[in-house]
């Protein structure tokens, strides 16, 4: 029995590793990413841009950002601007977000009902946030964050949700996509 369990575990591990390798190969290359910004994504529909995400306390973050990523090297670049508002709509801060690296990329496929280089997927990007509080616009607050961009084109898994999420480490987690579109454009 123990021998059977060992064989079953080994086979499962090999199958899972093979699926992960195939998934990584299918999504390898370079991509341009757009989150509430960019010509292709903003022309899809009137509510495509900007993107909005919400924190558990009801605060919202409005984002217009775009850049490039390379799945082979883990490089990511680009960024954009944001506004952080309370649940009541009062401006808390505005500022910029800069992508500093690619943490993960899970491809969902390209060209399904759209141009062949338009792709779905989920990318987690290391980012740096520079904010200027509305109460003191000359002040600067800086923090590291994780930006998650998800485009539901292709063949997304159950639970995939179009939009972005931003976890500003030790400050606030905007973990619910509210509105807006995102896109990955395969460049090589």
**What is the average pLDDT across 159-180?**
96
CA distance 172 to 85: 12
Please determine, for residue 61, whether its predicted confidence score (pLDDT) is greater than 80. Answer: yes
Whole-model pTM?
0.84
Yes or no: say if 95 and 132 are a contact pair by the CB < 8 Å rule: yes
Please determine, for residue 10, whether its predicted confidence score (pLDDT) is greater than 70. Answer: no
Q: What is the pLDDT of residue 7?
A: 30
Give residue limits of the domains in the chain.
Answer: 29-186
**What is the average pLDDT across 139-147?**
97
What is the overall mean pLDDT for the chain?
Answer: 87
Please determine, for residue 5, whether its predicted confidence score (pLDDT) is greater than 70. Answer: no
The share of the chain scoring above pLDDT 70, in percent, equals 86
| Position 14 confidence tier, pLDDT thresholds 50, 70, 90 | very low
Which phi and psi (to 5°) does residue 49 adopt? Answer: -135, 140
Compare 140 and 23 and report the one with higher pLDDT. Answer: 140
CA distance 69 to 88: 35
């Amino acid at each position: 029995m123990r021998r059977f369990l060992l064989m079953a575990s080994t086979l499962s591990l090999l199958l899972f590793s093979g699926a992960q390798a195939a998934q990584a190969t299918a999504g390898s290359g370079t991509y341009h990413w757009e989150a509430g910004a960019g010509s292709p994504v903003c022309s899809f529909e009137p509510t495509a841009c900007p993107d909005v995400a919400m924190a558990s306390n009801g605060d919202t973050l409005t984002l217009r950002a775009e850049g490039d990523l390379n799945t082979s090297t883990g490089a990511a670049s680009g960024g954009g601007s944001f506004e952080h508002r309370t649940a009541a709509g009062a401006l808390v801060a505005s500022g910029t977000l800069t992508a500093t690296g690619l943490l993960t990329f899970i491809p969902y496929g390209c060209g399904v009902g759209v141009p062949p280089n338009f792709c779905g997927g989920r990318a987690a990007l290391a980012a740096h946030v520079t904010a200027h509080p509305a109460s003191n616009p000359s002040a600067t607050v800086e923090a590291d964050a994780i930006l998650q961009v998800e485009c539901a084109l292709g063949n997304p898994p159950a639970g995939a949700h179009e939009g972005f999420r931003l976890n500003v480490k030790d400050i606030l987690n905007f973990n619910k996509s509210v509105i807006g579109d995102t896109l990955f454009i395969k460049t090589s």
